[in-house]
Amino acid sequence: MYIGELARRTGVSTRSLRYYEEKGLLRPARLTNGYRTYDADAIGRVRHIRQMLSSGLGVDDIRLLVSCLGRPPRDGEKCPDIVRLYEAKLAEIDAGIAELRALRAEVEIRLAELATRRERR
């Protein structure tokens, strides 16, 4: 299928598909006229890429997992790198939440100080 059909079937712009190709996430075949052609597996691959992006992973992270994209694991086969990557992302999110909680506590202190000053007037 051509890039336009892949875009239509996945809901992803042709610009994004070209970007994924540039970053090594998609590898279309090229016809003699230079047109990109994709096999049916590209649909699953693009959907998997989108899912991972929506989970907060970056393109560079996903590039490390190219061999695992868009195909179901075979019997006994796993892609442990995906597990490690999601665990690292979860730790990053938890650290961010801790920072935001600390910031929130600091803002609460400042508000309480301001309220106390207003009451003294």
* pTM as predicted: 0.71
CATH 1.10.1200.10, domain 1-72, yes or no: no
d(CA 32, CA 50): 30
Among 20-24, 35-39, 42-46, 67-71, which stretch is predicted with the lowest mean pLDDT? 67-71
Those residues whose C-beta lies under 8 Å from the C-beta of residue 57, and which sit 6 or more positions away, are 85, 86, 89
pLDDT per position as a tens digit, 49-97: 999 899 888 998 888 877 776 555 554 456 777 888 889 999 999 999 9
* Paired sense of beta strands 29-30 and 36-37, if any: antiparallel
